[in-house]
Each structure stands twice: as structure tokens, then as C-alpha cells.
Amino acid sequence: MAQTIPVSPLALPMPELGVVRGIRLGAIAAGIRYKGRTDLVLAEMAPGTTVAGVFTKSKCPGAPVDWCRAILPKGEARALVVNAGNANVFTGQAGRKTCEATAEAAAKLADCSAENVYLASTGVIGEILPAERITSALPALHTALSENGWEDAARGIMTTDTFPKVAVRKATIKGTEVIIQGIAKGSGMIAPDMATMLAFVATDAKLPASVLQTLLSAGIQKTFNCITVDSDTSTSDMVLLFATGAAQNPDIVTTTDVLTDPELADFRTALNVVLHDLALLVIRDGEGITKLMSIKVSGAVSDQSAWRVAMAIGNSPLVKTAVAGEDANWGRVVMAVGKCGEPADRDTLSVSIGGVCIARNGTVVDGYDETPVVAHMKGQEIDIAVDLGLGTGIAQAWSCDLTHGYIDINGSYRS
């Protein structure tokens, strides 16, 4: 029986959702693992929809990841099927056959090729996913699809998530207003090595698949690839971005770098905000979370080095448990910096918590008063800043504390 997990204390209310023209979606309880729980999501996109995607770097990916990677070069999408509760991962030939059967069933409903159907799966690893429960539920689900089905879809992809995750922004392309809206799921097994959970974003903008891919690949680097709950990268991670073209904005003729093209500047900014919002919602729902950690690193030899240092701090069990215990133990931050293998110098290092500089140039600040830092540690959002004093590299990452709640959830995950 599914666990009843209290809603995260850091949950945020769902924003007012919009309509993305050219996409209908919905969810249904298909009984894939649990009874009476929504666990199957279907989205149908208008003909001409382009798509971009990024996928887990795990060497043991799920069959849906392989499926999506294989069809992505076409750059076209007409449908998306996502199931929750039982991941189609480490299931051998049976997993591949489930992908084929699911894609064919959805393609028949959407009147398209199976190679235009994208698949995703989340839940328990290593148990055969019963394809017939998906394929038998799809017709009724397809009949009920709605352009207002975003909240149902967001709830339908949840596993140990305690609240649905949705983000929305509007942008302008050559004078035409477009909308960008997305959903995500993720609570545990969250560590960046691509996307680190499932996220599906759609826009009614008209953009080539190549442009979408460049924007998405760049956008995740400072969003989904900068979050960590527990340092574990899932076998099923993916982020997909669909553009239906229904807004009919003027064509983008990209003669310059997509990432600097002024005609795409507003859209690019809005997309990055949606990705950022979804990524932070995942962290706010970290398993057992009571505190959100924001980690800024500066003074590194490069941005990439700063990122590795930030992630080392965010992944450290000792840092995370200190935060859970509201202990301003800055020595654990120094430990995490020193162990990660990146250039660092004890005698140029500075550490701040809650905006208060605690240590500078290799030693505690003279006259340091811990009182405001102790007060900061009692809050729900903890700010940690480290300056390595070596260069101009900067990075920001987000993590959460590590509590008994995390153990409780994962110790009984399959029950």
C-alpha cells in the first residue's frame, strides 16, 4: 500500500495555470502499482510540434530513456505517455516490448507514427511494468484529454512527491505573445547529471527543434543540474520541451548564436525561469526536508570548478545533518570544500552563513558572534556562501537537509 507522506513544509501553492494552445493532456488511475491512485498521464500535441530533450547520464537507463533518445533526432512529437509507481527500468526485453506496445497504442489514438510518441516512467526499479494496464487505460484517458489538464497531469506523475509542481511564464517573440508551462516530479534520488527527475515543458511558440534543443541544453545547466537532494542520479531522468507552434509567431531565422539572439532573448529568459522554478520546487519537496539550502561559491578558478565545490557542499551528509540539527558548524563546509578535489587554498578561503562572514583567510573572524547565525539556522531557508579567493569562477547550487524522514521514506519505499 502507498505511504501517506506529510506535505513538505517548504511546499509552495500552485500558480494560476494557463492554456498552451496545441496540447491536451490528462491523467487516470490505471492500477499500475497502487489502487485508486492517479498514475498514468497522456498528452497529445498538434501536428507540427517540435521537441527537444535531455536525459540521464546513468549507465543503467530505463527503457523509456532509450526509446526517447532514439526518436529525438527526428525533432517531432505528437504524444507523451508517462506512468508512475513502477518504473520501466532494468526490465530487459520485457521493458523494450512495453515501450513498443505503449507507443503503438498511443500512436493509434493520436493518429501518428509510434516514433512521434515520447515515453517516461518513474517508480520502483526492476519490476516488470505490465504494458496491458497502460494500453487498456489509454483509450478512456484519450477521450478525456483537455487543454486544462495540467494539474491532473502534475499529480499523475508523482511518486513520493508531496505536492504537484507546476511553473508558468509568458514571453514575446517578434511581437507575438507565447506561453511556457511545465510540470515536474522529483523528491528523492535527486542529483544532477543531466536533469535529475522528470519534467515536461510545453510552449505554443513556433520554434525549430534545433533552437529548442540549444535553449534547453543551456537552460538546465544552471537549474536542474544545480540541485541535489541525496547525490543519487536516477535511471529515468529526463526533461522534454515541446513547441506546438500554435501561437504562429513569425519564423525565427537564426543567423547568430541562439543563446545571444536578441529575437529570442525574452523567450530564453522566460524558459530559464520556468526551468529554475521547477528545479527549486523539486528541492522544496526533497524527501524528509525541513530546510532549503542555497549555496553560492565564488573566487574559484573557473565556473565549472565553483559548481563542483558547491555540489560537494550540497551533497555532504555532514553538512546536511548539521543544517537539519540547526547547528552552525561551518567546519563541515570547510571539510566539504577540501575533499572535493578542486583547487582550494585554506589561507584564502572565506565562509559565510546567513550573510555573516564566519571565517576568512584560513581562520575564524576575530570577534565572530554566532548569535545571528544561530538565529538564521532556525529558519527554513539556509544561505551558505564560500569564497575560494583564487579566481573569478562562480556557481550556485541548491540542496536540502538530511533528516530521519528521509530514512523513513526510503526504508519502506517498496512497501
159 is in an annotated binding site: yes
Which residues does residue 165 pair with via DSSP β-bridges, in sequence order? 184
What's the chain's length in residues? 415
- Set 196, 223, 233, 403: catalytic member: 196
**How far is the C-alpha of 109 from the C-alpha of 120, rounded, in Å?**
18
Q: For residues 207-233, b (16+ Cβ closer than 10 Å) or e, as one string?
A: bbbebbbbbbbbbbbbbbbbbbbbbbb
Radius of gyration, alpha carbons of the chain: 22
d(CA 16, CA 14): 7
Best CA proximity match to 49, nearest among 209, 264, 210: 209
410 is in an annotated binding site: yes
Report the alpha-carbon distance of residue 387 to residue 404 in Å, rounded.
31
196 is catalytic: yes
In the chain, the amino acid numbered 56 is: T
8 A C-beta contact, residue 263 and residue 359:
no
> Do the Cβ atoms of 182 and 201 come closer than 8 Å?
yes
Determine whether the annotation assigns residue 415 to a binding site: yes
Q: Return the active site residues.
A: 196
Q: Residues annotated in the binding site, as ranges?
A: 159, 185, 196, 287, 410, 415
Q: Residues annotated in the binding site for substrate, as ranges?
A: 159, 185, 196, 287, 410, 415
